[in-house]
Structure formats: C-alpha cells, structure tokens
Structure 1
Amino acid sequence: MENELKKVKIAVNGGIGYGAKLDAKQLVTISTYMNADDELELTTFQQLYIEIPENRKEEIIAEFERVGLSYYPVGNFVKSLRTCNFCKGEEREGMPVAKELNKRFAGKPVPFTLKMAYTGCPIGCGEPMVSDIGVMKFKDYYNLYVGGKGKGMDAEVGCLLKENIEPEELYDTIEKIIDTYSEMGKKRETFFKFWKRIGKEQLIGLL
C-alpha cells in the first residue's frame, strides 16, 4: 500500500507574490497526497512541509508545479525568500527583484539552513533585519544586510553591508556571500556563527 512506501519530505509554497497565499486548486492538489490523519507543517520560512512517496517524487513535484506551487528541498539549503505583503504594487515594491532572488538562490546547498528575507520598503515587514541575508528596497535601490538573528538571547540586527545598489550588484554580492559560506563554513555552522567568526572586513575582502 502507498502509505507503507518509503516517503520523503519536501517543501512547497505558492511562490513569490502578494503575500504568502495558496488558492483552492493548490490546496486540493496537496490534499490528494495526504491521508486523513496526515498533517502539514507550516514553517517560519513561509513553506509547507509534506511527505510524499519517494518513488513518485518527480511526478508529484511536476503536478504541484502545474498548479503554481513552488518546490524546495528540505535540509541544509538556502530557504525560499521570506517576503512582505507587497502592499503598493509589483514594480513599486520591487517584486521582480524578489522573484529573481528566489529563483537564483533558493535551494542552494549550504553548511546549515540559511534564511533570506526581502521587504519592499523601510517598514520591513519581511523581517530582513533579523535574517541571515536581508534585502530592503529603498526608493529605486536596494540595501543589503547580513548576519541578523531573530531568535535566542543573542538575537541581533543584521549589519548593513551595502546600500543603494542596483539589482545586478545585489545578485552578484549575494551569490559571492553564499559561495563563500559554502566553501568556508564548517559543517552545521549557522551563517550567524560564520559571520561572527569571519567578520565584516574579512567577508568584504573575500567578495
């Protein structure tokens, strides 16, 4: 029976849009692969964790994607971009940049789970200041923060690494940061600990 088959956990969400939303078709499609007593786990990364039969993984992911769901691996990867609700419209809030950030970096392997966040204005609803890597749109440019931590007694606001930069410089800098972390980070070393060990000046010198 299918419920006796080996299962694998995957993450899905509705992609980058106006808030973290799912439509009825997406919910029905997800429920197709759940038993009556199964549960969905909603994570702080705006993802849903669901267990599916391992031998049907590619088929099921393809079906999820056909109804507009985005798939991500579970484990030590860059998580999907946490965003604000984009309250002022797509172009004004920089949604194309948010979508590109998610496309380029979500799912990349890293020493330990890495949280990225984006917000379309200085109000900061997407919580970029307390994420490993955070992006804040300010007028027509972008500010890049690193090393934030939102939990624990040592919670800390991230450091402003670059400000008033264009999208291409933003993408390039984040790619270099993630590559540096992947190469120099210790096994299961969080980005926050890596940042504290490396320091701002050394990290900038490696970019």
Structure 2
Amino acid sequence: MKENKIKIAVNGGINYGAKLTAKQLMVLAKHLGDDEELELTTFQQLYVEIPEEKKEEIIAEFNEAGLHCYPVGNYVKSLRTCNFCKGSEEEGMPVAIELNNRIAGTPVPVTLRPAYTGCPVGCGEPLMNDIGVMKTRDTYSLYIGGKSKGNDASVGQLFKDKLSPEELYSVVEQLIDLYGRQGKKREQFHKFVKRVGNEALFEHIK
C-alpha cells in the first residue's frame, strides 16, 4: 500500500540569517529517501515531504532539533527577515520572532507573504511583499500590498508608521483577520488591498 505523504515547510527560525546547523541537516536527511529532494523556496524555507501518519512524531523530532515547521498552502508564510547585521536588540529580532509566532500558519484566501527588516536599508525586502515591516529607531512602519512578480510588480504602500511593538502586532493581526474574512477565494492580498481601499481598511483597524 502506497504511503500518503504531505508537504511541510521548514526553517531554522528567525535568527542572524537563514541558517541550519549540522544536526538539523542530519535530522532532515533522516527522513529523505535516496532519490528525494529538498526544495528551497525564496522565502527562506525548505519544503519536505513526510508520511502523513507520522506527521506529529516527525514534527516533534524536527522541533527538538530546533527546526520550525509550517503548513504549506493557503496560509500566512513564516516571516522573511533580514540578517540582523547590527544586532538582535537594535534591529528588533524579539519583535520579529513574536510577530512570526502570532501570524505564521494562519489560514488565508491565498498564500500571504510577510517580510521584516531591522533598518531602512531594507535587506528583508519588506516593500516587495504582501505585508512589510521596517524598523526605524524605536518604532515600526507597516507597508501593505507589495507585489514582486509580473509586469505589474509594485512596491507596498505605507499603511501606518511610528508603531510600537504591541501596536504593530495588533494592526497586522487585524489586517490578516480582515483578509481572511472578506477576501475572495484565491484573491491575492495586493488585489484585496486595492479592492477594499486604504480608507476602508483604516475604518476596520482599531
């Protein structure tokens, strides 16, 4: 009987760049057949197929090795980040980790890509993704509606700035919740933002 497999997304969590340890690579390799491959995405994730009946057991093993696992499909992806080259506290790594914990894996009409960068240089490419966060000094600016692909590619527009960490979490969670409830089937986030309009979005955000 053929074994049913499911695809999950895996990364090493939010740290100084997208890195994996030797132990993490060994754990991943343990669950790959000789002819199987890992798919590296542009969003700092690896896609790996695992037996569906052993899902919980394997994810627990991955977590024990320090790997973070996320569902694949119409969910909020894990936060794409910069390399925090100026340091954890200065560039807000704890805020990025908390934001990721709050939103990654949330069901949405179609895959939503959030990004974070710890300074105005923008290495995490926040303006080119659905939701982008940029830290400037001690506050955070939120950009929405970026689109990185196609001949109509465009940068995200500033939605709110000078946010505290708690304000940032609240606004992002409310935007994603609104998109989840009012977005049409297979409607990409940038199209949802354009259809609803910033003025209406502001009315829904407390």
Structure 1 counterpart of 2:60: 62
Q: Tell me if 1:165 matches 2:163.
A: yes
| Residues 110-155 of structure 1 deviation map (CA, whole Å, 9 limit, x = unaligned) | 0000000000000000000111000000001100000011111111
Query: What does 1:53-202 correspond to in 2, within 5 Å?
Result: 53-202=51-200
Unaligned 5+ segments in structure 2 are: none
Q: How far did residue 164 of structure 1 move?
A: 1.0
Amino acid at match of 1:61: I
Q: Tell me if 1:26 matches 2:21.
A: no
Q: How far did residue 206 of structure 1 move?
A: 1.4
Describe the SS at the equivalent of 1:91: coil
TM-score under structure 2 normalisation? 0.98
Amino acid at match of 2:82: C
Partners of 2:176 and 2:25 lie apart in 1 by: 33
Partners of 1:201 and 1:42 lie apart in 2 by: 38
Structure 2 counterpart of 1:11: 9
TM-score under structure 1 normalisation? 0.98
Partners of 2:30 and 2:52 lie apart in 1 by: 15
Unaligned 5+ segments in structure 1 are: none
| Residues 14-73 of structure 1 deviation map (CA, whole Å, 9 limit, x = unaligned) | 000000000000000000000111011111111100000111000000000000000000
Partners of 1:143 and 1:193 lie apart in 2 by: 21
Amino acid at match of 1:78: V
Partners of 1:148 and 1:204 lie apart in 2 by: 18
- The 4+ residue runs of structure 1 with deviation greater than 4 A are none
Partners of 2:89 and 2:188 lie apart in 1 by: 33
Alpha-carbon RMSD: 0.8
Partners of 1:10 and 1:127 lie apart in 2 by: 24
Structure 1 counterpart of 2:48: 50
Describe the SS at the equivalent of 1:90: coil
Describe the SS at the equivalent of 1:93: coil
Alignment length, in residue pairs? 205
Aligned-pair identity (%): 65
Amino acid at match of 1:16: I
Q: How far did residue 205 of structure 1 move?
A: 1.0
Moved more, 62-71 or 157-166: 157-166
